[in-house]
Amino acid sequence: MKGPSFNDEEVKDGPGLRLKGNLSGQGLRIAVVAARFNLFVTSKLVEGACEAILSHGVEEKDLAVSWVPGSFEVPLVALEMAKTKKWDALVCLGAVIRGETAHFDHVGGEVARGIATVSRETGVPLTFGILTTYTEEQAIERAGGKLGNWGYYAALAALESANLLRLLRNMEE
């Protein structure tokens, strides 16, 4: 399958211990950090993320959405939220759409690096729901259009990652 898969039947059994997080949000606290720039896209990503989070058992009181001006600001706010240790995972959402300048090239790479760095340095899973598209139409297709909602998928990845880390951290030697 092209794109994200959260279907356990597609994972083949084999030798050795197989570890995988589940999609249960029960007992998890999840935060979303979303960019307001290209709000016509990012608002749909946030809707999808919140739908996924709440429909998988996270209580509304355990969900927070922080809005930042643009995608470039997402890693800094995610870092501050992760450092509080109040959140089991963070979903990072934004839309960087190519324009007539090199802005797209600079922002997309830096945001990806920043999100990955925050996750590694804090041990809190951050998922990458920053769309980097060539056109507005491509962004809309990925924000609830014919290609699904990548905010929803990023939230599912956050739930699975948080549960896998919980499993790993609670394993006995």
- Give me the helices (H) in 123-149, please: 136-141
Distance of CA 124 to the CA centre of its chain: 12
One-letter identity of residue 60:
E
131 pairs with which residues across the strands? 95
Q: Tokens 């899973």 identify what position?
A: 125
| Cβ atoms of residues 90 and 50 within 8 Å | no
Report d(CA 147, CA 90) in Å as an integer: 23
Phi/psi at 135 (5° precision) = -140, 160
Contact 70, 130 (CB under 8 A): no
- Quick check: is 103 catalytic? yes
With tokens 């997309």, the residue in question is 108
Q: Catalytic one among 103, 106, 113, 120?
A: 103
Active site residues: 103
